[in-house]
Chain A
Amino acid sequence: MRTSDSLRKTYGETLVELGKENKAIVMLEADLGNSTMSALFGAAYPERYFQMGIAEQNMASVAAGLSLAGKVPFINSFAVFATGRAYDQIRSSVAIANLNVKICGSSAGLSDFGDGKTHQSIDDIALMQVLPNMTVLSPCDAVETEKMTKAMVESKGPVYLRINRNDLPVVTDPNAEYHIGKMTEMVKGKDVVVFATGIMVQQSMEAAKILEKEGISLRVVNVSTIKPLDVKALEGYCEGVKGVVTAEEHSIFGGLGSAVCAVLSKKRLPIEVLGVNDSFGTSAENYSILLKHYGLESEDVAKKVRSVLAAN
């Protein structure tokens, strides 16, 4: 099992490993291969690596064609460009046709801290989860990224994978089985449940420690498959709690929070949605500054938890 903390490096290495046996896997890249780490695949299997240049729209539809020819194409770019620049190509060429195209949105959320708002994705989950047929995955660490990448190759149909640019501590169990569509309880608790995705899983686990000192028991659930959402499990984790918090490094509109609220709309439970509050990003000298500025730290999760409890 991988020890690296880098999600993107793990993604690239895993595909190199899978590509050895599975000759149907092909990679398409829009000139960001050294960041998305698709370049690792290119070095290993140059004939199955398609450098598409800075032309994401063409890349998405070419991937559709490769899929129609029986290949398992992965398209790679930063999350903003992979989803936004090629949105209609993904919608029409890929999703309507329900083709076996895998989309890797790298440098997702605010993780490309230096490059600023044009390069930071606060809308990619929204764009992808609104599409019928699309599966939306958001790993919280490298271990989960490896399992997800393998599961993507096994799965049929379009999948969007959202990857953080920065190294993150491993928090998931390397020995645990992984299935697309399953959510995992990371911390047991009974007062409030937080449904978190991506880096907000780690932040929520820290929040649980803060709240424990205050006598508040927080359950933390890692929702790494945002779509299809495991509704049964979601409702199950809400049983007995006094409130619900969702946490994501994404706009509060159209992401995990929206999806969870849609499921829980009939429950009489206070819900707080934590995310980027209807704002684009900005440049910063490091990731931490942005997480603090946009209210995505463990203390921000803790505040939301106190808030839902106060609403009781």
Chain B
Amino acid sequence: MKYSQEQVTELKRKAIQVRANILEMIPPGKVGHLGGSSSIADVMAALYFHTMTVNPSDPKDPKRDRLIMSKGHAVLVQYACLVELGYFGREELAKVKTFKGMLQGHPDMDKTPGIEAVTGSLGQGLSIALGLALGFRLDKLPNRVYAILGDGELAEGQIWEAIMAAHGFKANNLTAIVDFNGIQATSTTKEIFPIENLAQKWGSFGWNVIEIDGHDMVQVLDALEAAKAFTEGPSVILAHTVKGKCFPFAEGKAKYHNAAMTEEEYKIAWSCIENMKREVEA
């Protein structure tokens, strides 16, 4: 085990703070991708505050691992992590998606320190991550690459091109993480574009498949370690999650894929944050 109980608790605190930062970016009336940002918040906290090699004081440090947010619409959760690490000041949070802000509606590597690619047109991030992984391997570098995918995004054909290619190249420095929340912009993934048997699908395409509860910090950490330890090819973590996790009014609802909260919902959301803080310290 490469982490202590105290580290797990600290990561849980971070995950709460990440969700708080998300709330800070989308006050009542401001539209934002709350659902898909909070579903992957625990995995993102584990990656940024534990698993990945990062250097906030030098965002272009060649030694850093890379995280490609293929489900770019959920970039709020990435901003929430980056601000916590000090990639930019907290004053930027209020300016998200504004003309004068550096935090764009979708990931933009030119505008935002810590963002590693341009994503948002769905289906492209796994390929970009594979290119990085192949580049690092060519230079015999130890850097690892992580791609965060949405389950709805798996309808994009390019994802499956990348899945086949990554297996073909045996890209063992690449880990894909599917935010398997079962809900996309307008309805359930099951209803819109069924993608059953994901574990069998990825497995039959030659990937090392790890299936976890994406809100259980210990499972998340173990999965990330297992992916690192697997050297024969790429690994995918199918993280079962709840869209809008921790905010009861939004949990499991397609409406909060991209919506504005009401004043009342916003108050509830903050009280959820306070409750979680108390629970984690209990």
Interface residues of A (CB under 8 A from B): 26, 47-48, 50, 52-53, 55, 57-58, 60-71, 73, 88-89, 91-93, 96-98
Instruction: Kindly list 7 other residue pairs between chains A and B, CB separation below 8 angstroms, not including A61-B127, A61-B128.
Output: A26-B138, A50-B169, A58-B158, A64-B127, A67-B131, A68-B66, A92-B119
Is residue B129 contacting chain A, with contact meaning CB distance below 8 A?
A: yes
Closest to B123 in A: A57
A-B contacts at CB below 8 angstroms, number = 109
A133 to chain B, nearest CB (A): 11
Is residue B164 contacting chain A, with contact meaning CB distance below 8 A?
A: yes
CA distance A67 to B134 in the complex (A): 11
Closest to A51 in B: B168
Interface residues of B (CB under 8 A from A): 66, 68, 108-110, 116-121, 123-125, 127-136, 138-139, 145, 157-158, 161-162, 164-165, 168-169
Which A residues touch B123, using CB under 8 A?
57
Interface centre among A63, A68, A69, A96 (most CB of B within 10 A): A69
CA distance A61 to B121 in the complex (A): 11
Select one of A48, A55, A66, A89 contacting B124, CB under 8 A: A89
Select one of B117, B133, B161 contacting A93, CB under 8 A: B117
Given contacts A58-B162, A58-B165, contact A65 B131 (CB under 8 A): yes
Which A residues touch B129, using CB under 8 A?
65
Task: Check if B136 sits within 8 Å of A68, measured CB to CB.
Answer: no
Select one of A53, A63, A97 contacting B117, CB under 8 A: A97
Select one of B132, B145, B158 contacting A89, CB under 8 A: B158
B122 to chain A, nearest CB (A): 10
B129 to chain A, nearest CB (A): 6
B67 to chain A, nearest CB (A): 12
Given contacts A57-B157, A58-B161, A69-B139, contact A92 B118 (CB under 8 A): yes
Task: Check if B164 sits within 8 Å of A93, measured CB to CB.
Answer: no
Which A residues touch B168, using CB under 8 A?
53
CA distance A58 to B139 in the complex (A): 21
CA distance A67 to B162 in the complex (A): 17
Which B residues touch A57, using CB under 8 A?
123-124, 127, 157-158, 161
Which B residues touch A70, using CB under 8 A?
135, 139
Given contacts A55-B164, A97-B109, contact A68 B128 (CB under 8 A): yes
CA distance A48 to B121 in the complex (A): 28
Task: Check if A98 sits within 8 Å of B124, measured CB to CB.
Answer: no
Task: Check if A65 sits within 8 Å of B133, measured CB to CB.
Answer: yes
Closest to A101 in B: B131
CA distance A73 to B135 in the complex (A): 10
19 residue pairs of the A-B complex, CB under 8 angstroms, read A26-B138, A52-B165, A57-B157, A58-B162, A61-B162, A62-B134, A64-B127, A64-B131, A65-B117, A65-B127, A65-B132, A65-B134, A66-B135, A68-B116, A69-B139, A92-B120, A92-B121, A93-B119, A96-B108
B153 to chain A, nearest CB (A): 13
Ordered nearest first, which 8 A-B pairs have the shortest CB separation? Answer: A65-B131, A69-B135, A61-B127, A58-B161, A62-B131, A55-B161, A92-B121, A97-B118
B197 to chain A, nearest CB (A): 22
Task: Check if A47 sits within 8 Å of B138, measured CB to CB.
Answer: yes
Given contacts A52-B165, A55-B164, A92-B124, contact A69 B110 (CB under 8 A): no
A57 to chain B, nearest CB (A): 4
CA distance A75 to B83 in the complex (A): 36
Closest to A48 in B: B138
Task: Check if A64 sits within 8 Å of B128, measured CB to CB.
Answer: yes
CA distance A97 to B123 in the complex (A): 16
Which A residues touch B68, using CB under 8 A?
65
Closest to A91 in B: B121
Select one of B109, B120, B132 contacting A66, CB under 8 A: B132
Select one of A48, A53, A68 contacting B132, CB under 8 A: A68
CA distance A68 to B115 in the complex (A): 12
CA distance A26 to B168 in the complex (A): 18
B34 to chain A, nearest CB (A): 24
Which B residues touch A68, using CB under 8 A?
66, 116-117, 128, 131-132, 135
Task: Check if A66 sits within 8 Å of B131, measured CB to CB.
Answer: yes
CA distance A34 to B68 in the complex (A): 34
Task: Check if A71 sits within 8 Å of B128, measured CB to CB.
Answer: no
Task: Check if B136 sits within 8 Å of A93, measured CB to CB.
Answer: no
Closest to A26 in B: B138
Select one of B110, B117, B165 contacting A64, CB under 8 A: B117
Which A residues touch B135, using CB under 8 A?
26, 65-66, 68-71
Given contacts A55-B164, A55-B165, A58-B161, contact A93 B128 (CB under 8 A): yes
CA distance A53 to B164 in the complex (A): 10
